[in-house]
Structure 1
Amino acid sequence: MNERATPSDEELVAYLDDQLDADQRTRIDAAVAEDSTLNLRLQWLARSSLPFKEAYDELAQQAPVHRLQSMLDTLPSPERPALNRRRFLAAAAGLVVSGVVADRLFLAWQLSQEKSNWRGLVADYMSLYVPQTLEHLPVDEASQRAQLRTIDARLGLSLTPAKLALPRSDLKRAQILEYDGMPIAQITYLDPAHGPIALCAKRSNSGSRHFSHEIRHRMNVVYWADMEHAWMLIGHNPAAELEGMAKSLRSRLSA
């Protein structure tokens, strides 16, 4: 499938919302059937959701309630019951939150979450993986080196299959993902005991950081950073085992 024929995210969302005509749906059905990566992207779009509740809870706290209260106090209506006051404040604050100002505040809030959000995006994507996603992929070194050269060119890395080797797990694919203009390297492995594992990286200038742990979608995550890149290793392996792999990778990647 050539690049020109690949459906955009907007088309995929319209497909999920049943807003395309029959010919457009047939074209996307065929594209998804031919391209496993596009199929995963479609599934991710179908399952993903923005944290609206957290965002709007925070925005509601920023609504100028005290100023609105002062405006209400100047209204000449001595018979006004308390219930009307509460309704006025709720409605006015709601208008503030739901207007253009709220849109801008939500974008600012979303950007403030970006440092950890890339790990959430990777976890969302990895939650769709099963062993069958990877087991049919070739593992010849020539293909691996060609894929790694693409990552090296985008992220300024110098990767080889030897540097990326993990015990018991086969390196299955190396590819570039992209979110909002930010390239993310994804190197996937298949562990016969625990299933898919992914080593991911993006550019970062936040400085070197030691290993940290978190759990996303019931998968263990170990993440760290060097002076130019942020890294994460994610999978269903036990946390201690995953950290051992991460330490070995970090040592080889910095050599």
Structure 2
Amino acid sequence: MNARIPDEQLVAYLDDQLDTEQRQRIDAAVAQDPMLGLRLQWLNRSSLPFKAAYDELGRQAPVDRLQAMLDTLPSPARPTLNRRWFLAAAAGLVVSGVLADRLFLGWQATQQQDNWRQLVADYMALYVPQTLDHLPGDEAAQRAQLHTLDARLGLVLTPAQLTLPRAEFKRAQILEYDGVPIAQISYLDPVHGPMALCVTRSNSGSRHFAQERRRGMNIVYWADMEHAWMLIGHNPMADLEGMATVLRGRLSA
């Protein structure tokens, strides 16, 4: 079903330009095909936050030094500009360009640290209870799925480690974005709907719990020495942190 829906129609879906029947057809296709959800994510990432990046450049710009450079400009009454002034101006432009590039790259690097959580939130925003409720929940299937995650991410996971009160373990799968694998372990909460524990490789070091909201969902995230983790769902933040505490204790044991 993935290959039958052209990118143009997916873009129209993201821009809310389809009628109800067309949207329902794509919703049903996404529920059956995780790769179609990834295509939607990829197309949605074309809206890069350039304005935010350049707003940050404006805040970091060396205004005083730039103003001092402007103050050195000769007035119209002064003699014709000489070669030395042109060389100085050219050097200033080069330095300013390099500075802007470095500021932009630095801003990009800070955004990449939480980019994977935004990708997961974009994907989870497409989930409804019907996405998961028909999936089998036998332990043999769960172990086979977890083995695939272990092989890609250097983990050793068991169904017993991942059980949660009330929420039912429904599926474990490996996703990938720009060559970076992301493991997703999906649950179905009878009250709050789909939720997921997700993990990717990370070398940023151990980090305590932190909280945030993305796409109308609550997120609790943390990191150990090799992996970054997040628990996402519509559950109250306090409930998610309680579950994350249980999971972290089991996973680090």
Fold-level similarity (TM above 0.5): yes
Q: CA deviation at 1:218?
A: 2.0
The match for 1:42 among 39, 44, 47 is 39
Q: CA deviation at 1:210?
A: 2.2
5 Å-filtered alignment, 1:2-151, equals: 12=7, 16=11, 33=29, 36-48=33-45, 49-61=47-59, 66-67=65-66, 70=69, 74-77=73-76, 106-151=104-149
Q: CA deviation at 1:73?
A: 5.1
Query: Is the contact made by 2:127 and 2:194 (CA closer than 8 Å) also made in structure 1?
Result: yes
Identify the residue that residue 193 of structure 1 maps to in structure 2: 191
The match for 2:161 among 155, 160, 163 is 163
Aligned partner letter, 2:147: R
Query: Is the contact made by 2:203 and 2:227 (CA closer than 8 Å) also made in structure 1?
Result: yes
Q: CA deviation at 1:166?
A: 1.1
Identify the residue that residue 235 of structure 1 maps to in structure 2: 233
Aligned equivalents of 2:9, 2:217: Cα separation in 1? 30
Task: Pick which of 239-248 and 117-126 moved more.
Answer: 117-126
Q: CA deviation at 1:178?
A: 2.0
Query: Is the contact made by 2:200 and 2:229 (CA closer than 8 Å) also made in structure 1?
Result: yes
Once the two structures are superposed, residues 104-123 of structure 1 have per-residue CA deviations (whole angstroms, 9 ceiling, x without a partner) of 75344212222222222211
- What SS does the corresponding residue of 1:109 show, helix, strand or coil? helix
Q: CA deviation at 1:167?
A: 1.2
Q: CA deviation at 1:140?
A: 2.2
Segments of 5+ residues of structure 2 without an aligned counterpart are 13-24, 78-92
Aligned equivalents of 1:15, 1:229: Cα separation in 2? 32
Q: CA deviation at 1:207?
A: 2.7
- What SS does the corresponding residue of 2:114 show, helix, strand or coil? helix
Segments of 5+ residues of structure 1 without an aligned counterpart are 18-28, 79-94
Q: CA deviation at 1:69?
A: 6.7
* Distance change >3 Å, CA 106–CA 138, structure 1 → 2: farther
Once the two structures are superposed, residues 127-163 of structure 1 have per-residue CA deviations (whole angstroms, 9 ceiling, x without a partner) of 2211122222222222221111111011111111111
Question: When the two structures are superposed, what TM-score results if normalisation uses the length of structure 1?
Answer: 0.71
* Distance change >3 Å, CA 13–CA 156, structure 1 → 2: farther
What's the Cα RMSD here?
3.4
- What SS does the corresponding residue of 1:231 show, helix, strand or coil? strand
Aligned partner letter, 1:120: Q
Aligned partner letter, 2:153: L
Aligned equivalents of 2:10, 2:166: Cα separation in 1? 40
Aligned residues: 219
- What SS does the corresponding residue of 2:113 show, helix, strand or coil? helix
Once the two structures are superposed, residues 153-181 of structure 1 have per-residue CA deviations (whole angstroms, 9 ceiling, x without a partner) of 11111111111111111211111122333
- What SS does the corresponding residue of 1:57 show, helix, strand or coil? helix
Aligned equivalents of 1:75, 1:14: Cα separation in 2? 57
Task: Pick which of 163-172 and 35-44 moved more.
Answer: 35-44
Question: When the two structures are superposed, what TM-score results if normalisation uses the length of structure 2?
Answer: 0.72
Aligned partner letter, 2:11: L
Once the two structures are superposed, residues 210-253 of structure 1 have per-residue CA deviations (whole angstroms, 9 ceiling, x without a partner) of 22222222211111222221211111111111111111111221
